[in-house]
Amino acid sequence: MPEPIEVRKVPIESVTDASGLSRLIADGVIEASRVLAVVGKTEGNGGVNDYTRILADRAFREVLAEHGHPDPDSVPLVWSGGTDGILSPHATIFATTADAPASEEPRLSVGVAMSEVILPEDIGRPAMVEKVAAGVREAMKIAGIDDPRDVHYVQTKTPLLTLATITDAKSRGQDTAIEETGPSMDLSNSTTALGIAVALGEIEMPAAGQIHKDLSLYSSVASCSSGVELDRAQIVLVGNVRGIGGRYRVGHSVMKDALDADGIWEAIKDAGLPLPDRPHASDLGGRLVNVFMKCEADPSGRVRGRRNIMLDDSDVHWHRQIKAAVGGVAASVTGDPAVFVSVAAVHQGPSGGGPVAAIADLG
Q: CB neighbours of 262 closer than 8 A, spacing ≥ 6? A: none
- On whether 353 is known to bind a ligand per the annotation, the reply is yes
Query: What H or E segment, with its residue span, contains residue 116?
Result: strand 106-117
- On whether 81 is known to bind a ligand per the annotation, the reply is yes
SS3 content of the chain, % helix, strand, coil (to 5): 35, 25, 40
- On whether 113 is known to bind a ligand per the annotation, the reply is no
- On whether 349 is known to bind a ligand per the annotation, the reply is yes
- On whether 109 is known to bind a ligand per the annotation, the reply is no
- How many residues can be counted in the chain? 363
| Residue 21: closest CA among 13, 359, 362 | 13
- On whether 343 is known to bind a ligand per the annotation, the reply is yes
Given the residues 109, 157, 188, 190, select the one marked as catalytic.
157
Contact 231, 359 (CB under 8 A): no
- On whether 350 is known to bind a ligand per the annotation, the reply is yes
157 is catalytic: yes
Query: What H or E segment, with its residue span, contains residue 263?
Result: helix 261-270
Given the residues 109, 225, 253, 351, select the one marked as catalytic.
225
253 is catalytic: no
- On whether 111 is known to bind a ligand per the annotation, the reply is no
DSSP 271-330: TT----SS--GGGGTT-EEEEEEE----TTSEETTEE--GGG-SSS-HHHHHHHHHHHHH
- On whether 74 is known to bind a ligand per the annotation, the reply is no
> Which parts are annotated binding residues for substrate?
53, 80-81, 189, 225-226, 323, 342-343
- Catalytic annotation, residues: 157, 225
> Which parts are annotated binding residues for Mg(2+)?
296, 345, 348-350, 353
> Which parts are annotated binding residues?
53, 80-81, 189, 225-226, 296, 323, 342-343, 345, 348-350, 353
